[in-house]
Amino acid sequence: DAGVTQSPTHLIKTRGQQVTLRCSPKSGHDTVSWYQQALGQGPQFIFQYYEEEERQRGNFPDRFSGHQFPNYSSELNVNALLLGDSALYLCASSLVPGKSGANVLTFGAGSRLTVL
């Protein structure tokens, strides 16, 4: 049973460029959340997707956008990259609120983004 898979594992971009990160949730999960983790810090919530719609959003600018596909996989897009966007981007999957076990988050290994 595959867990959460993310791609790419590492990438390097320059300021002003755009990046797309991908996530496949754990089998059976239908909700995907994205987090940004700067070096030495805890993860910060970006947004959550369920039924192909953004359901909740953290304190991140509109440069951060996402999408969820019918197969529950998800993408995180970041436009106009800044140096401060360099971080580990984590995807976590879970069940929709209200379902048994919805509290359990399963994280992927993350995508390490470096902005030069």
Partner 1 sequence: KNQVEQSPQSLIILEGKNCTLQCNYTVSPFSNLRWYKQDTGRGPVSLTIMTFSENTKSNGRYTATLDADTKQSSLHITASQLSDSASYICVVSYLGGYNKLIFGAGTRLAVHP
The contact set with partner 1 (CB under 8 A) reads 4, 31, 33, 40-45, 48, 56, 58, 88, 90, 92, 94, 97, 102-110, 112
Identify the CA nearest to 23 among candidates 1, 42, 49, 43. Answer: 49
d(CA 89, CA 111): 5
Cβ nearer to partner 1, comparing 31 with 68: 31
How many Cβ atoms are within 10 Å of 22's Cβ, its own excluded? 16
CB 106 within 8 A of CB 23: no
**Smallest separation (angstroms) from partner 1 to the CB of 33:** 5
Identify the CA nearest to 25 among candidates 87, 101, 95. Answer: 95
Cβ nearer to partner 1, comparing 81 with 92: 92
**Smallest separation (angstroms) from partner 1 to the CB of 80:** 26
Cβ nearer to partner 1, comparing 44 with 65: 44
**Smallest separation (angstroms) from partner 1 to the CB of 95:** 11
Number of H helices, E strands in the chain: 0, 11
Tokens of residue 60, six digits: 């991140």
**Smallest separation (angstroms) from partner 1 to the CB of 114:** 13
Cβ nearer to partner 1, comparing 21 with 90: 90
